[in-house]
Amino acid sequence: MKKQKPKLFRYKTLVLLLFIISAVALILSLYKYKQSEKVVVHVPYFQKQGEVTFYTSENKPLVTIDVEIADTDEKRELGLMGRPTLGEKEGMLFIFEREHLASFWMKNTMIPLDMVFINAQGVIVTIHENTTPFSEQSYTATAPTQYVVEVNAGFTSRHSIRVGDKVTWQRFLH
């Protein structure tokens, strides 16, 4: 005659098995959720697409830099996120369709920057110096802006760039 296992033993085994299955399912769902939170960033090397020249308010040239151009919603949203470095005379030029009170943040941006806000006439209206990496603080223009140039933190100070100075830019066709 075959000896039967007590019902309590079978009940405990079933409960334990259900607990293990539930725990594994929870761990897998949390892992999948965490994977979906990862930020996907673009290739972190510079691609020259144009130049920006800064001038004093009296039209004296100050400095010319190479720039990447962000002229679509997708490129403007991505900006310099994920870049570990930026050359001293490199930056990013953000181009908007029309003037507005532009506002930027540093979420997922690894390096401190100076943000130069420029109106449609090419006049600098706001400079935010030494922004904080990974910050969600808003850096907003004080007047309508059509262009923004981001450069390494301290760049505007090192090159004596001030509000009221002027900017011209050109795009290189590839």
Indicate if 152 and 82 belong to the same structural domain: yes
Domain span at residue 27? 1-38
Indicate if 85 and 60 belong to the same structural domain: yes
Q: What is the pTM of this model?
A: 0.75
Indicate if 70 and 114 belong to the same structural domain: yes
* Whole-number pLDDT of residue 136: 93
Indicate if 80 and 25 belong to the same structural domain: no
* Whole-number pLDDT of residue 6: 66
44 belongs to a structural domain: no
Indicate if 20 and 58 belong to the same structural domain: no
Q: What is the CATH number of the domain that holds 109?
A: 2.60.120.1140
* Whole-number pLDDT of residue 116: 98
CB 91 within 8 A of CB 51: no
Indicate if 56 and 27 belong to the same structural domain: no
Indicate if 25 and 60 belong to the same structural domain: no
- Successive 10-residue mean pLDDT values, the chain, 174 residues: 63 74 71 52 76 98 98 94 93 98 94 98 98 95 98 98 98 83
Domain count, the chain: 2
43 belongs to a structural domain: no
Indicate if 22 and 59 belong to the same structural domain: no
45 belongs to a structural domain: no
